[in-house]
Copies of this chain bind each other. A is one copy, B any other.
């Protein structure tokens, strides 16, 4: 198996240019460096170095191995840093978070900011992903935490070995272009063109349910995008209507000049939750706690409280 000390010699040789300099930098004698690099070449099965004048350069194979060496040595440093933090009693480690867009902006981002203060040794990586894709990846250890959403009436089963916790529960609102006068009821919006997320998403199913069951009409769904910012743009620019949860409003989404009509109905709502594997490391625990804090710090939505 490749030896990290030898790979470090390779990296140092490339960075400093001469065997003597690499030896001096790492506290070895030049003869040792030369011998160890010979061993590395024998292990590699290919020439890694070639003489150039009175110096040595890396061959193409040497450069190829160098790339791996740099990556591996960085990984070792990360591991050692984490061990050092752990040995000092601080919680540390890498936590990979997958989150739906709206919660990413309003919950995950502030949680990461808070964690940078409270747990500097916890490294959080976050990607935007839909729960449908993220939950299988969570089970395969590709993520450690999933922040997902569940619309009322569409419960998601929690698979064995996973642990789900509610972060917050919120209302759904109708977003309309600015119109004077009293707030329209849902049934008044049958003639609107509608914007929604792609078919197959929870928002799309909720959109159809709300229009049919509460509004009593089949919506004229013309604009489809999973990006809520695009949905908002379609309201402003195309005169459409769309159904948005509280989280999406009020975050610089530019809904200030638009009309927001909350839907106060127990059958409609959205729950944002966190999902982890049951065996939580201290670092995952810290991230989960930070997500809860960030969710609780969210200002309550305008108007009456959402249904429990």
Query: Which residues does A use to contact B, with CB under 8 Å?
Result: 1-5, 8, 44-46, 60-61, 63-65, 67-69, 71-72, 75-76, 78-80, 82-84, 86-87, 92-94, 222-225, 230, 233, 237-238, 281-283
Judge whether B65 and A79 touch: CB under 8 Å. yes
Nearest opposing residue in chain B for A44, CB measure: B83
Q: How far is the CB of A77 from chain B (nearest CB, A)?
A: 9
Contact of A71 among B75, B93, B233 (CB under 8 A): B75
Q: How far is the CB of A132 from chain B (nearest CB, A)?
A: 19
CA distance A238 to B240 in the complex (A): 11
Residues in chain B near residue A45, CB distance under 8 A: 83-84, 87
Residues in chain B near residue A237, CB distance under 8 A: 222-223
CA distance A277 to B8 in the complex (A): 25
Q: How far is the CB of A116 from chain B (nearest CB, A)?
A: 19
Chosen A-B contacts, 5 in total, with CB atoms closer than 8 Å, are A1-B5, A2-B80, A63-B281, A65-B79, A72-B79
Residues in chain B near residue A283, CB distance under 8 A: 64
Known: A46-B86, A69-B79, A72-B72. 20 other contacts (CB 8 A): A1-B76, A2-B76, A45-B87, A46-B83, A61-B83, A61-B86, A64-B93, A64-B281, A64-B283, A65-B79, A65-B82, A67-B93, A68-B76, A68-B79, A71-B75, A72-B75, A75-B75, A222-B238, A223-B238, A224-B233
Q: How far is the CB of A294 from chain B (nearest CB, A)?
A: 24
Q: How far is the CB of A122 from chain B (nearest CB, A)?
A: 11
Judge whether A65 and B83 touch: CB under 8 Å. yes
CA distance A77 to B56 in the complex (A): 27
Judge whether B67 and A72 touch: CB under 8 Å. no
Q: For A64, A92, A238, which residue has the most chain B Cβ atoms within 10 angstroms?
A: A64
Q: How far is the CB of A167 from chain B (nearest CB, A)?
A: 25
Residues in chain B near residue A93, CB distance under 8 A: 64, 67
Q: How far is the CB of A212 from chain B (nearest CB, A)?
A: 21
Known contacts A4-B2, A76-B2, A238-B223, A82 near B94 by CB under 8 Å: no
Q: How far is the CB of A129 from chain B (nearest CB, A)?
A: 15
Nearest opposing residue in chain B for A72, CB measure: B75
Q: How far is the CB of A45 from chain B (nearest CB, A)?
A: 4
Contact of A92 among B63, B64, B79 (CB under 8 A): B64
Residues in chain B near residue A3, CB distance under 8 A: 4
CA distance A76 to B79 in the complex (A): 15
Nearest opposing residue in chain B for A227, CB measure: B225
Q: How far is the CB of A130 from chain B (nearest CB, A)?
A: 16
Q: How far is the CB of A140 from chain B (nearest CB, A)?
A: 13
Known contacts A1-B4, A72-B72, A75-B72, A67 near B83 by CB under 8 Å: no
Q: How far is the CB of A114 from chain B (nearest CB, A)?
A: 22
